Amino acid sequence: MKQPFFYDVTLRDGNQALKKPWNTQEKEIIFNKLIELGVQGIEVGFSGASDMDFEACSYLANLAPENVVISGLARAVKIDIDKVAQAIKNAPKPRIHTFIAMNPLGLEYVLKKPLKEVKKIAVEAVSYAKSILPIHGEVQFSVEHFGDCKENLDEVIDAVQDIVKAGANVINLPNTVERFRPMVFIEMVKKMREALPENVIVAVHCHNDLGMASATTVESYFAGAMQLECSLNGLGERAGNTNMYEVAVALNNSGVNVPLNMQNIYETAILTSEMADVQIWEKAPIIGHDALAHRSGIHQDGVVKTKHLDKGAYRAFNPELIGRTEAEKLAFTSQSGKTAIFELINATQYQISMQEAVYLAPFAKHKAETIGELSLKELLELYFDKICNVEGPFKLNEFNKIGSDKFNLNFNHNNEEFDVIVKGSGPLDACISALKNVGFALELEHYEQHAIEDLENEKEKSKAMSVLHFNHNGNVLITRAIHTSTAQANVQAVFNGLNLMNRVI
Ligand code: KIV
Ligand code: ZN
């Protein structure tokens, strides 16, 4: 299958739909982005529309690299065609793009002419355009409203065959207004493709009135249309034109060699949005701010289990492909679960075991039910509150060193106060012995301590996080605490463990 030819219409169809169309300098910024993106063709404007656009078209044609086709749009009238020819004359690959409608509605109510007459206008326009272009110049003819030509398709095909004979080497089939299902249009594209000589390039130009322009464009490619007319961010008349990024990623995923520098897509999208003053919808496919977020617990589980693979369980494409530096995002809501807690907290300097994440999940869900998605800060607050300071029947009042190897532990169990003095080789050992002496034996299996940077308190540079593993009825119970004193972190972690073991669910 031949490589697709990406033909960008942002500077023409996109620009004509802007609330404030771009001036030459603004167009140049977008033009340069298109060159960096590596598109094969750029329609630089509608030079007949205004002096400003004529100036922009001429300026950009002068900047065009050797390998990029540059076209300007002209109605099928001599004055427009002359203007385009004049504007693009310095482009290394100049193309005049002329058009006229051939759909029954347009013929009857807009042009008020029969197809025979319109064909004559088109043939004359094309042969005139061809005659004033240099030998390497091309003529593209668009059957405006081709998508509405189902009823007179055979006559339209006859007309287009004559238009090709008159000198058009690119036949563009616009779905000027998207009204029907994609397959209706694609079948028409196929029929036109089959009726034209092989060396004629068939293009599609789809508008997105029903939100299916990308699908229609992608499938038209497989039906034989090689030139795919698209725009950056889907800018264009009404609901816009085919979004270039969607087509590029879909073709890439389908195994087509996409001739674009796809890693430039994301930065191009951001710049285009700023330049056009058209925000990117947060759910916009591929480029939307929230388009890589996962909130359901089931999805989060699948995402994490497949994150090492190129094809993720819920990942349509690898964000790196389009130059998005942030990876897929897990966010915690009342619909989320332990996996998000585990991943989000372990991505910070704090840590959490899966067992603790399971314990924390209901608290986090409950909080999210009232306030919505939890920020990382809110999730960590819960973590400090519920994991690093577990509430329950045991309450640590004081733990002090009162001699070289002597310690005093004061705590409450339910309403009873205990005050124990013990000897121990260190605070942790002493605390566990003290508890054992008053009937609360614990089996410590593992102990570790880490330094935690205290981000909130500038004076205190670091804190200690103690992590203890206890044997609890044959299972490992993990508990932890954070404190500026390593001794207090150890003792609080013991009490957190006691409360977890004696938790009334
Ligand atoms: O949508 C359309 O039909 C057009 C043509 C001028 C190509 O933009
Ligand atoms: Zn259009």
- Output the pLDDT for position 331: 97
On the question of pLDDT at 475 being above 90, the answer is: yes
pLDDT one-digit tens code per residue, 292-344: 999 999 999 999 999 999 889 999 999 999 999 887 899 999 999 999 999 99
Q: Say if residue 349 is in the same domain as residue 205.
A: no
Closest residue (by CA) to atom 7 of ligand 1?
A: 142
CB 70 within 8 A of CB 94: yes
Q: Say if residue 141 is in the same domain as residue 61.
A: yes
Which residue, among 217, 503, 173, 208, has the nearest Cα to 360 in the 3D structure?
A: 503
pLDDT one-digit tens code per residue, 295-305: 999 999 999 99
On the question of pLDDT at 37 being above 60, the answer is: yes
**303 domain-assigned:** yes
Q: Say if residue 413 is in the same domain as residue 368.
A: no
Q: Of 347, 364, 386, at which residue does a domain stop?
A: 386
- Output the pLDDT for position 48: 85
pLDDT one-digit tens code per residue, 257-273: 999 999 999 999 999 99
The tokens for 269 are 């999208």
The alpha carbon of 146 and the centre of ligand 1 are apart by a number of angstroms equal to 9
**461 domain-assigned:** yes
Pocket of ligand 1 (CB under 6 A): 13, 73, 99, 142, 144, 172, 174, 176, 205, 207
Q: Say if residue 259 is in the same domain as residue 308.
A: no
Q: Say if residue 76 is in the same domain as residue 192.
A: yes
**285 domain-assigned:** no
- Output the pLDDT for position 273: 98
pLDDT one-digit tens code per residue, 55-102: 999 999 999 999 999 999 999 999 999 999 999 999 999 999 999 999
Instruction: Give the model's confidence band at 180: pLDDT under 50 very low, under 70 low, under 90 confident, else very high.
Output: very high
Give the closest ligand to the alpha carbon of residue 177. 1
- Output the pLDDT for position 95: 98
On the 0-12 / 13-18 / 19+ scale of CB atoms within 10 A, 454 is: middle
How far the first Cα of the chain sits from its last, in Å, is: 63
The alpha carbon of 14 and the centre of ligand 2 are apart by a number of angstroms equal to 9
On the question of pLDDT at 284 being above 70, the answer is: yes
pTM of the model: 0.92
CA pair distance 113, 105, nearest whole angstrom: 11
The alpha carbon of 53 and the centre of ligand 2 are apart by a number of angstroms equal to 17
Q: Say if residue 304 is in the same domain as residue 160.
A: no
Neighbour order of strands in the sheet with 394-401:
394-401, 406-413, 416-423
Q: Say if residue 43 is in the same domain as residue 175.
A: yes
Please provide the average confidence, as pLDDT, over all residues in the chain. Answer: 96
**286 domain-assigned:** no
* H, E, C per residue of 10-35: HHHHHHHCCCCCCCHHHHHHHHHHHH
Closest residue (by CA) to atom 5 of ligand 1?
A: 144
On the 0-12 / 13-18 / 19+ scale of CB atoms within 10 A, 164 is: buried
**287 domain-assigned:** no
Q: What is the mean pLDDT of residues 466-490?
A: 96
93-101 and 41-45: which strand pairing? unpaired
Tell me, rounded to whole angstroms, the distance of Cα 222 from its chain centroid.
25
Q: Say if residue 326 is in the same domain as residue 263.
A: no
CATH number for position 166: 3.20.20.70
Locate the ligand 1 atom nearest the alpha carbon of residue 142 and give its number.
7
Closest residue (by CA) to atom 2 of ligand 1?
A: 176
**481 domain-assigned:** yes
Which residue, among 74, 157, 166, has the nearest Cα to 120 in the 3D structure?
A: 166
On the question of pLDDT at 484 being above 80, the answer is: yes
Q: Say if residue 363 is in the same domain as residue 414.
A: no
Q: Say if residue 250 is in the same domain as residue 332.
A: no
Distance set, CA 348 to CA 126, 391, 480 (Å): 64, 24, 16
Locate the ligand 1 atom nearest the alpha carbon of residue 12 and give its number.
8
Closest residue (by CA) to atom 8 of ligand 1?
A: 13
Q: Of 343, 363, 386, at which residue does a domain stop?
A: 386
- Structural domain that includes position 404: 394-501
The alpha carbon of 45 and the centre of ligand 2 are apart by a number of angstroms equal to 12
Q: Of 386, 413, 432, at which residue does a domain stop?
A: 386
- Output the pLDDT for position 457: 66
Report the number of distinct structural domains present in the chain: 3
Q: Say if residue 236 is in the same domain as residue 338.
A: no
pLDDT one-digit tens code per residue, 187-221: 999 999 999 999 999 999 999 999 999 999 999 99
Q: Say if residue 320 is in the same domain as residue 272.
A: no
The alpha carbon of 129 and the centre of ligand 2 are apart by a number of angstroms equal to 20
- Output the pLDDT for position 304: 96
CATH number for position 496: 3.30.160.270
**288 domain-assigned:** no
Task: Return the residue matching tokens 């389009």.
Answer: 322
- Output the pLDDT for position 505: 52
Which residue, among 141, 157, 160, 144, has the nearest Cα to 103 in the 3D structure?
A: 144
